[in-house]
Structure 1
Amino acid sequence: MTKIMPMFADHADQVLEIYGLGIDTGDATFEECAPDWSVFDAGKLPAHRFVALDETTGVVLGWVAASPTSKRPVYAGVVETSVYVHPAAFGRGVGRALLEAQITSTEAAGIWTIQAGIFPENTASLSLHTTLGFRTIGTRERIARHHGQWRDVTLLERRSRMVD
């Protein structure tokens, strides 16, 4: 069984380890290494970040976090999401449960758009987001170099049906 709960500093080591495993795949992010906890913590909105715990062991199976997209007040209802699952927990519905929890929390807070930027090669993440109501809004072609290669990023968004 999996339990979804808010992310706290107690989860830092496991969250950053899972982030590092995602980085190692080469298809999760442009980042080359996970930041330290203080940097990670400062960039994520506390009310919209969660971990999935194995209820038996208490081990973190994955995490989701939202970041503001702009400091301008007009964009206060727009966030960018990141979701990472430990490879040992792939295929167990962890990513879906995490993203669903974040959708619920953001809608309750009046956030009207969740954005995601995903490498086209990350088909599992694209499928997950699409299943939960995200739509593709475009591709940023050759937006940046990653390990010496130009990479595209697929942009997705989910507009809340609860926030007018």
Structure 2
Amino acid sequence: MPSERVEAQVRPGVEADLEALTEIYNHYVRETAITFDTAVFTPSERRPWLLSHPEDGPHRLMVATDTGTQRILGYATSSPFRPKPAYGTSVETSVYVAPDAGRRGIGTLLYDALFKALAGEDVHRAYAGIARPNEPSERLHARFGFRHVGTFHEVGRKFGRYWDVAWYEKEL
């Protein structure tokens, strides 16, 4: 059953968000195969990642906060898809929601803001890799027009088992 919706606002991420964003990400590192990182980060280790997402340009960090408490509920990013120059107009997107803020529409709110921010940028395609199983993420991406383009089978090993990653593509 869905949790109660909260009033939330989305804004670009700033350095003051680093501790909360690291805490959210570390939950997924420790508890899930949603990310293939296997060791938690300190905020100082995560700082270069945050700084690689300026307030403008194709690589964005959008943060959802509770309008009452200003607590960070989640974040979405667009990051370089691959490091080679010809990939410059492609981005990889991701969404992470605080573990107690799921099923409240936060992911939808974040992706809506992210794709609106990217609308004026020189970005041609967005890609998302989803470790399976993850039906909520697959539904979210489908809602935003992503289509499945392939699956890498048993591509990552975490928690003593292999995981598939389904890849999705969205025209921008």
TM-score by length of 1: 0.90
Instruction: Verify: 1:137 aligned to 2:143, yes or no.
Output: no
Instruction: Verify: 1:52 aligned to 2:94, yes or no.
Output: no
Q: Which residue does the alignment assign to 1:158?
A: 170
- Tell me if structure 1 keeps the 8 A contact 2:79–2:91: yes
**RMSD of the alignment, in Å?**
1.6
Q: CA deviation at 1:10?
A: 0.5
Match of 1:94 among 106, 126, 139: 106
The gaps in structure 2 that reach 5 residues or longer are 1-6
Q: CA deviation at 1:46?
A: 4.6
Distance 2:165 2:17 in 1: 29
Distance 1:40 1:57 in 2: 26
Instruction: Verify: 1:31 aligned to 2:31, yes or no.
Output: no
Q: How many residues align?
A: 160
Residue identity opposite 2:161 in structure 1: Q
Q: CA deviation at 1:84?
A: 0.3
Distance 1:45 1:115 in 2: 19
Q: Which residue does the alignment assign to 2:4?
A: none
Secondary structure of 2:63 counterpart: strand
Q: Which residue does the alignment assign to 2:86?
A: 74
Q: Deviations over 1:70-98 (max 9, x none)?
A: 33332211011121001211111100111
Q: CA deviation at 1:26?
A: 1.5
Distance 1:139 1:38 in 2: 31
Secondary structure of 1:13 counterpart: helix
The gaps in structure 1 that reach 5 residues or longer are none
Match of 1:146 among 158, 161, 164: 158
Q: CA deviation at 1:17?
A: 0.6
Secondary structure of 1:88 counterpart: coil
Q: CA deviation at 1:147?
A: 2.2
Percent identical: 29
TM-score by length of 2: 0.86
Distance 1:150 1:33 in 2: 17
Q: CA deviation at 1:24?
A: 2.9
